[in-house]
Amino acid sequence: MSHNSYIAVGDIMHGLVNRSIECFVRDTYGQMAWEDVARCAGLEPATFESMLHYDDRLTHAVLEAISQRLNKPREAVLEDVGTYLVTHSNTKAIRRLLRFSGDSFGDFLASLDDLPERVKLAVPDLEFPRLELEERGNGQFCLWVRGAHAEFIWVICGAMRALADDYGALVLMEGHDPVGGTDGFIELHLAALSFAEGNAFSLGAGGAN
């Protein structure tokens, strides 16, 4: 039975999220690995459509199958997905969306509150968690991830680690599971904005990206 029939049951997950997880497995571990995951999760046909919506139980089943196949905790799998979204050659558009925030990782942090709105401009029906950055002084921050699907805090954590490297910043991070299933947070220590040379980037059409 196709799991597309789950759409009206329970919470739903945008197909673009599921498709990103699928592409992560395909691009990182190969087609055979994805076929194994899809079979274990009961995904028929063995692919996600980006513009459809799926019951989030199917997303959880896929993540569990990936975790078992890779022998990794689910949080580590989600962090790897976040890193993939920023660093892989097939996801340059996502890196550009995030680097649009400014010339430094500090600029990126300062613009995080606006990120959900920028995501909605690109994908209007994608429900993105609300982000709230709390500055604690001495380079210490707390990023709250609130709302639906806040468990994807780990994707955000992985993406932010990759972005810190991309900017050349030295940032220590620790993620914390959602409290009550809705609010998670990431503690950050911004040790150095210019710890290493960042990767080339330009918003101009002819620039490096």
Whichever domain contains 11, its CATH number is 3.90.1520.10
Query: Would the pLDDT of 5 be above 80?
Result: no
116 and 150 belong to one structural domain: yes
Helices (H), 4-73: 15-29, 31-41, 56-70
pLDDT tens string 126-154: 778 889 999 998 999 999 988 767 778 89
120 and 163 belong to one structural domain: yes
Question: What is the Cα 23 distance to its own chain's centre?
Answer: 13
Domain that holds residue 105: 81-192
Give the helix/strand (H/E) hosting 42.
none
124 and 59 belong to one structural domain: no
Query: Would the pLDDT of 59 be above 70?
Result: yes
Our count of domains for the chain comes to 2
Does residue 99 lie in a domain region? yes
Q: How confident is the model at residue 4 (pLDDT cuts 50, 70, 90)?
A: very low
56 and 94 belong to one structural domain: no
Does residue 28 lie in a domain region? yes
Q: How confident is the model at residue 206 (pLDDT cuts 50, 70, 90)?
A: very low
Q: Phi and psi at residue 132, in whole multiples of 5°?
A: -135, 120
Q: Phi and psi at residue 177, in whole multiples of 5°?
A: -55, 150
Q: What is the pTM of this model?
A: 0.85
pLDDT tens string 75-117: 999 999 999 999 999 988 888 888 877 788 988 898 888 888 8
Cα distance between residue 170 and residue 106, in whole Å: 11
Cβ(63)–Cβ(72) under 8 Å?
A: no
Does residue 48 lie in a domain region? yes
Does residue 198 lie in a domain region? no
Question: Of 50, 71, 92, which residue constitutes the final position of a domain?
Answer: 71
- Burial 51-76, CB ≥16 within 10 A → b, else e: eebbbbebbebbbebbbebbeeeebe
